[in-house]
Amino acid sequence: MNSIFKRNNVRVLGTGSRYIVFAHGFGCDQNVWSAIQNDFVDDYKLVLFDYVGSGKSDLSAYDPDRYSTLEGYAQDILEICGALEIQQTYFVGHSVSSMIGIIAANRRPGLFQKMVFLGPSPRYLNDVGYIGGFEKEDLNGLLDMIDSNYLGWSRAMAPLIMGNPQSPELGSQLSDNFCATDPEVAKNFARATFLSDYRAELEHLKVESLILQCSEDIIAPLSVGQYMHDNIERNKLIILKATGHCSHMSAPRETVREIKAFL
């Protein structure tokens, strides 16, 4: 049990009787929830953690085979819940963690009561009849830059991903998160994220869920949110006024309001 807590730098905050697992996105760590976590601590127990290679996780626990696909990260979430003896929980996942959460829920039905997905995407590549937002050459260029100069990619892309140029400090905060992630882990996680296709998982999700889609998002366009909504049972789609890919950081009040209304 302690090894799992150390591996993922698990922290539990709050005094409520119900749990919420908060799962951060690619290149980030649990600190990205700081703008919204205090809104939940009185009513819930918050489970915060870092994926291996991020934040203050135990880098020695990194297994490139295990984490070559999103299933390895989903197993981490299930093991964290097991170590905490959680029988039922709410789940809030950002970006790639939305699909990681769906995989976890499909592997262990009954664990999750409700799920919230911020800027999710089951496939980033465009396909016949599907607009994921990226052509193959775009993703290849992105991955090449991550491979050759991850820190440079982080500084260049963070402001674009954040998408709020009027608040440059938010882009800097995201860049600092990216730069704190182990570069080798980031390279492998990027491939597991951006080259994956988990559209087939959507129809198997039976948990009631909410998609919070930003109105302008270069990572997860509106077409992706609509596709997921159309292919998941018991799903609600809300288009936020917020722009960018990180509404929990750039528009915390709007994000909190919608999550609380859903839960």
* 250 part of the active site: no
Domain count, the chain: 1
| Residues 162-178: tens digit of each pLDDT | 767 776 676 677 666 66
Single pTM value for the model: 0.94
| Residues 62-71: tens digit of each pLDDT | 999 999 999 9
**Calpha distance 8→53 (Å, rounded):** 9
Residue 48's contacts (CB-CB under 8 Å, 6 or more residues apart) are: 10, 11, 12, 13, 22, 30, 33, 37
pLDDT band at 23 (very low <50, low <70, confident <90, very high): very high
Mean pLDDT of 2-26: 95
Q: Quote the tokens at residue 114.
A: 């409700």
**Cα diameter, the chain:** 48
Residue 30: which domain range? 2-262
pLDDT band at 58 (very low <50, low <70, confident <90, very high): very high
* 245 part of the active site: yes
Catalytic pick among 245, 247, 248, 250: 245
- Domain with residue 53: its CATH number is 3.40.50.1820
**pLDDT given at position 1:** 57
First-last CA distance in the chain: 29
* 209 part of the active site: no
